[in-house]
């Protein structure tokens, strides 16, 4: 664990494992053992154990009945669940976030500006999720934000898989996402809470639409 800004070894281990799972270095189904990962990461089993626990509650790992730890396999069914929950949570969050506070308006504008300047697909994806999270945060319901964040890791995992499978096509469709976000922010500034809710709903439905799904999936 040579360099990492995390204050605790457990957090550093969690970050690293999370990244390795996202990057596909630890494909779904991989069995992880505390001792082995501890050796590999150069720490003892205790921080690794805590990292496993954290990643499990984020849905990236899975504990079997017998205590084994496995990188979770995501099925199209899993994705449909995530989609259904976004469709449930985010429009409501948008409605509650209206009207936007000065602070959150600025944060969203910064996000859009960063998105316009983004160079890589991963960066655009991260900013995309960040935009949505900002709106959930703006709703003022801390627990709602917590629920959303608990879905975020799995979402990122899915998007990562999809990007690796359709590296070419996504870059174009991504432009649409950014424009859609600008439209949403404009809606917050010029229209009503129900309008924002409706627009967010349509945005997520559209997002579901252009995602290439169910032809190939990373599980099994």
Binding site for DNA (CB under 7 A): 8-10, 32-36, 43-47, 49-50, 66-69
Among a second copy, DNA, none, the one that 92 touches (CB under a kind-dependent 5 to 8 A) is a second copy
What is the binding site for a second copy (CB under 8 A)?
46, 50, 53, 57, 59, 78, 81-82, 84-85, 88-89, 92, 96, 141-144, 146-147, 150-151
Tokens for 60, please give them.
């990236």
Cα distance between the two ends of the chain: 31
Q: Which residues pair with 31 in a beta bridge?
A: 70
Return the number of the residue (87 or 107) whose C-beta is nearest a second copy: 87
> How many Cα atoms sit within 13 Å of 75 on the Cβ side?
2
* Crossing angle between the packed helical segments 34-41 and 45-57, to the nearest 10 degrees: 110
Task: Kindly state the smallest distance separating residue 26's Cβ from DNA, in Å.
Answer: 14
Look at residue 85 and give the partner it binds from DNA, a second copy, none, a contact being a CB closer than 5 to 8 Å depending on partner kind: a second copy
> Where are any strands of DSSP class E within 11-169?
31-32, 61-63, 69-71
- Measured CA to CA, the distance from residue 212 to residue 162 in angstroms comes to 7
| Cβ distance to a second copy smaller for residue 78 or 182 | 78
C-alpha 97: how far from chain center: 20
CB of 172 to a second copy, least distance (A): 30
At closest approach, how far in Å is the CB of 168 from a second copy?
31
Binding site partner of 82, from DNA, a second copy, none, Cβ cut-off 5-8 A by kind: a second copy
Phi, psi of 211 (to 5 degrees): -70, 125
Q: Which one of DNA, a second copy, none interacts with residue 122, CB within 5 to 8 A by kind? A: none
**What is the closest distance, in whole angstroms, from the C-beta atom of residue 10 to DNA in the complex?**
4
């Amino acid at each position: 664990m040579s360099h990492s800004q995390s204050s605790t070894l457990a957090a550093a281990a969690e970050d690293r494992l999370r990244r390795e799972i996202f990057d596909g270095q630890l494909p779904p189904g991989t069995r992880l053992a505390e001792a082995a990962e501890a050796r590999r990461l150069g720490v003892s089993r205790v921080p690794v154990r805590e990292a496993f626990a954290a990643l499990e509650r984020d849905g990236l790992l899975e504990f079997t009945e017998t205590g084994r730890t496995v990188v979770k396999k995501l099925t199209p069914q899993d994705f449909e669940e995530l989609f259904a929950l976004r469709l449930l949570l985010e429009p409501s969050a948008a409605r509650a976030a209206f009207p936007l506070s000065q602070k959150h308006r600025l944060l969203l504008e910064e996000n859009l500006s960063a998105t316009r300047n983004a160079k890589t697909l991963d960066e655009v994806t991260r900013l995309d999720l960040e935009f949505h999270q900002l709106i959930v945060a703006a709703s003022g319901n801390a627990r709602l934000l917590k629920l959303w964040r608990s879905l975020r890791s799995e979402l990122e995992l899915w998007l990562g898989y999809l990007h690796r499978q359709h590296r070419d096509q996504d870059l174009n469709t991504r432009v649409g996402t950014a424009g859609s976000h600008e439209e949403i922010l404009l809606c917050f500034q010029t229209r009503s809470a129900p309008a924002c809710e409706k627009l967010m709903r349509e945005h997520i439905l559209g997002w579901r639409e252009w995602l290439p799904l169910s032809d190939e999936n990373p599980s099994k």
